[in-house]
Amino acid sequence: MALRIGVIGVGMIGQDHIRRLTTVLAGSTVTAVSDTDAARAREVAARFAGVEAFATGEELIASPAVDAVLVCSWGPSHRQYVTAAIRAGKFVFCEKPLATTERDGLAIIDAEVAHGSRLVQVGFMRRYDPAYRAMKASIDGGEIGAPLMFHSCHRNASVPSHYTADMAIVDTAVHDIDVARWLFAEEVSEVMVVTPKKSARGGLLQDPLLILLRMAGGAIVDVETSVNIDFGYDIRGEIVGETGTVALAESATVLVKRGGTVAARVPEDWRERFSRAYDVELQDWVDGCLAGTASGPSSWDGYAATVVTDAGLAAAASAAWAKVNLRDKPSIYG
């Protein structure tokens, strides 16, 4: 039987996931949607047969027509919906960031630990991207010796008007933080934020930012966030090891040569750049729910990344290294 999914938050990524679940992936059906914009929820529901629009996320979670919940609402609302889904004993996929404050991250961990087993998967889709996976395989296979540094570059063409100063760290760099933890298989021990000359394109935002992470084993990660770069969505990464380096290649699949130039497409946004990763990630979640197991990035990963972003906000204010202090890892997270 198909997994019946309720989607909370039907903005850009919510609608993209509904498209993916209904036209690309196997094993699931979308039966319910909700959004703080009720008219938008009704409009999205009307586009699909058998989808009911609910007035609140809590009502959607309680519905007997919903087996599992996909949370795509804005970050500060994640705690409310994820803990409600856990209390209802339903599997829940939560888009990143799992939480926008350490306190919310801890509340989710506490709820899941009280439940006694994993129900949550966090949408850190880079872990499912073929290029990042090849990079990790190269490190884990010892091809470049011990990894010492990671240059990570995260560029958005532009950001919406509701994008606030904190979001460069909490919403954007959180991906690079998670991928650093995953590639190095280590926690972050401290963080520092350096502010270059401000781009005139960023309005009031301090853009770009350079965020430095010191990993528990001493490796250093530098993360550039530029969120008004104009030319497209540009994700770069290079690991420097003791005996070699491994870098993400350009994402374009073809190069066009003409008139003495070489040109390649730069993705417009993350939906294009990580389209394949999102497909694999959500199929993995659907398959896990049907098999009764949660895998992939956990609440612990979401919480650990949020503690780093919280420390990053403090570091941005103080211009000094800020320590990252995690609680003990509960046994359900391995």
Which spans of this chain sit near ligand ISE (rule: CB under 6 A)?
154, 156, 171-172, 175, 227, 270
Per the CB < 8 A criterion, the answer to whether 173 and 316 are in contact is: no
C-beta closer to ligand ISE: residue 20 or 154: 154
- Pick the closest to residue 104 from 87, 82, 124 (CA basis): 82
**For residue 235, which amino acid is it?**
I
Least separation in angstroms between residue 152's CB and ligand ISE is 12
Least separation in angstroms between residue 126's CB and ligand ISE is 8
Rounded-to-integer distance, Cα 262 and Cα 256, Å: 6
Least separation in angstroms between residue 125's CB and ligand ISE is 8
- What is the Cα Rg of the chain in Å? 20
Per the CB < 8 A criterion, the answer to whether 217 and 184 are in contact is: yes
Structure tokens at 295: 């895998």
C-beta closer to ligand ISE: residue 118 or 175: 175
Angle at 12 between CA 45 and CA 178, to 5 degrees: 125
Rounded-to-integer distance, Cα 94 and Cα 298, Å: 10
306: left (phi over 0), alpha (psi -120 to 50) or beta: alpha
Cβ–Cβ contacts within 10 Å for residue 23, how many?
A: 7
Least separation in angstroms between residue 25's CB and ligand ISE is 20
Least separation in angstroms between residue 171's CB and ligand ISE is 5
C-beta closer to ligand ISE: residue 21 or 227: 227
State how far Cα 12 lies from the chain centre. 14
State how far Cα 175 lies from the chain centre. 5
Least separation in angstroms between residue 251's CB and ligand ISE is 13
For residue 260, count CB atoms less than 10 angstroms from its CB and return exposed for 0-12, middle for 13-18, buried for 19 or more: exposed
Rounded-to-integer distance, Cα 173 and Cα 95, Å: 14
Least separation in angstroms between residue 227's CB and ligand ISE is 6
Least separation in angstroms between residue 266's CB and ligand ISE is 13
C-beta closer to ligand ISE: residue 100 or 172: 172
Least separation in angstroms between residue 13's CB and ligand ISE is 7
C-beta closer to ligand ISE: residue 53 or 82: 82
C-beta closer to ligand ISE: residue 29 or 158: 158
C-beta closer to ligand ISE: residue 3 or 209: 209
C-beta closer to ligand ISE: residue 51 or 221: 221
Q: Given the structure tokens 């996931």, which residue do they identify?
A: 17
C-beta closer to ligand ISE: residue 132 or 270: 270
Measured in Å, how far apart are the chain's first and last C-alpha atoms?
30
Q: Could you give phi then psi for residue 90, rounded to 5 degrees? A: -105, 145
Which residues, in sequence order, are bridge partners of residue 32?
Answer: 6, 52
